[in-house]
Amino acid sequence: MDAEWWRGSVTYQIYPRSFQDSNGDGLGDLPGITARLGHVAALGADAIWLSPIFRSPMADMGYDVSDYTDIDPVFGTLADFDALVARAHDLGLKVIIDQVLSHSSDRHPFFVESRRDRTNPRADWYVWADPRPDGGPPNNWPSVFGGPAWTWDTRRRQYYLHNFLPSQPDFNFHNPAVQDWLLSTMRFWLDRGVDGFRLDTVNYYFHDAALRSNPPLRRAPGQPPPVNPYDMQDHRHSKTQPENLAFLERMRALLDEYPGRAMVGEVGEAGRALQVMADYTAGPRRLHMAYSFDMLGPQFSAHHFRSRIQGFFRAAPDGWPAWAFSNHDAIRHVTRWAGHGAPEDLARLAAAMLLSFRGSVCLYQGEELGQTETDILWEELTDPLGRQFWPDYKGRDGCRTPMVWDGGPQGGFTTGTPWLPVKPPQLACNVAAQQGMPGSVLEHYRAVLAFRRAHPVLRTGAIRFLRAPEPLLAFVRGGDEGALLCLFNLGPGPLRLRPAGCGAPVGPSQAAILSARDLVLGPNGHAWLPVTPGARPRLGRVQPG
């Protein structure tokens, strides 16, 4: 087993409720996922990441766990999970599962016990605090989901902390017994054969033990408030505490007992996410990988992508990032970036860019089809974030609608009524219509993934950016032997340049025409050029084509 399979790997994220329903109840499940794993293997991914499948009241779609060592019946059984892992491994796919460790459901037996009184054995397993003299909460910390991060409990006559919904109370990581128990739940799944973990909100584990209030976030004069008031604070005391690093090292020590296992942490931090990612992956004793929301927003420029990658490796030369353009928490990137090109052109460009960046990559189900965001109506909402901040923010349901396998009823996802609607724009982006069709987004993803596998420099090689004007992103992957010049036109018009020190475009280059000594990149075009051994590639003059 390659102990570092994760370095430069490509992980395919599966949102279990929306991948494949096997029993007609309108909800995706583990047998459905197992039946469709061939699609992921044929795509060319190295691993799958399953969003939460544990027992849960589903107030936040499984991110409120009531039993960390069992499967929720809506998804199946432990036997179904074992069958999924076996089938994935037969296909050469690793299996990564979501771990929601920062908080549990309020229906977890430990919280039920903790809130009973102030003297029970688990009284301090969650974060409790006395009210201020005026009856208010102990500080100004807000919840990501709106309102204060504190809820009053009448039994204990205290407030408890929840960074998300009131039904998602935060564990008290300052209690070593809590750490020990959470590590034991991870060991349960490692013993069951999983290959790693995606760590939800990994920088939220610890809070400031003194419960100091957060300062306001500086904003430009006249700037209107954001949709979510959570974004008005500098969360320096409610998360990303220095004590977190020691717990990450405890998790890494656990995984090191199981060769070939890996962790990727989700860093939710505005403004300094790259530094936190760097801190959390520096050296061999912390996380294997981390990702943030830096590439999951509306920014679409060569400068933005270059600055994110350079910023990470400048902060942690020995760390390792994971990059993604879409996931279950973000508007799908083809929709976010709609003003920068035609949808299919943007989808192909995104595949080429993302799979050429230095780091590991995460693809979100449907991304390989050029899938777009679903327009969700108020009466169709299930996401508590959407209900709280409608209509300026419609929540996350739009990116969570079912996978579309064919053009038939409900896209082949279910024979029943799907939990979220399959609408005509999404139905048009289906697997069957693109399978085997030259030039389709699906076949382009497969070609780029095969090209990446055939060129090790794209997985683990060094990266060096070339000076280039907007909208051209240019960098070299690798040192000498096998190095590639990677070129991406992020604009809607053609670009003409005269590259030197390299050969003609290779692989699944798109909208790239070599004429005499000039290379023309069409709108959203991209190209990989082999670097001549010993040469230092240059772009020449870059101008509209």
91-137 confidence digits (pLDDT tens): 999 999 999 999 999 999 999 999 999 999 999 999 999 999 999 99
Comparison of pLDDT for 52 and 220, the residue scoring more: 52
**pLDDT for res 1:** 52
CA distance 150 to 131: 10
Residue 257 among the catalytic residues: yes
293-350 confidence digits (pLDDT tens): 999 999 999 999 999 999 999 999 999 999 999 999 999 999 999 999 999 999 999 9
147-184 confidence digits (pLDDT tens): 999 999 999 999 999 999 999 999 999 999 999 999 99
| pTM > 0.95 | yes
**Cis peptide leading into residue 242 (ω within 30°):** no
Q: Of 46, 195, 200, 294, which one is the catalytic site residue? A: 200
Q: Architecture of 10-102+175-206+241-452 per CATH?
A: Alpha-Beta Barrel (3.20)
CA distance 205 to 365: 28
Task: Check if CATH label 3.40.50.1110 holds for domain 463-544.
Answer: no
1-50 confidence digits (pLDDT tens): 589 999 999 999 999 999 999 999 999 999 999 999 999 999 999 999 99
Confidence class for position 517, pLDDT limits 50, 70, 90: confident
**pLDDT for res 286:** 98
Residue 200 among the catalytic residues: yes
Q: Helix 244-256 and helix 176-191: axis angle, to 10°?
A: 30
For the record, the structure tokens of 524 come out as 């959203």
CA distance 152 to 369: 46
Q: Of 191, 257, 392, 481, which one is the catalytic site residue? A: 257
395-422 confidence digits (pLDDT tens): 999 999 999 999 999 999 999 999 999 9
DSSP state of 444: H
208-245 confidence digits (pLDDT tens): 999 999 999 988 888 999 999 999 999 999 999 999 99
**pLDDT for res 515:** 81
Which region, left, alpha or beta, applies to residue 533 given φ > 0 means left and ψ of -120 to 50 means alpha? beta
CA distance 488 to 523: 10
Question: What is the CB-side half-sphere exposure of residue 97 using CA atoms within 13 A?
Answer: 27
CA distance 272 to 279: 11
Confidence class for position 71, pLDDT limits 50, 70, 90: very high
Instruction: Count the Cβ atoms, other than its own, within 10 Å of residue 221.
Output: 4
530-544 confidence digits (pLDDT tens): 999 999 999 999 999
The domains of the chain are located at 10-102+175-206+241-452, 463-544
The 10 Å CB-count burial string (b at 16+, else e) for 5-14 is: bbebbbbbbb
**Over 90: is that where the pLDDT of 516 sits?**
no
Strands (DSSP E) contained in 154-193 are 158-161
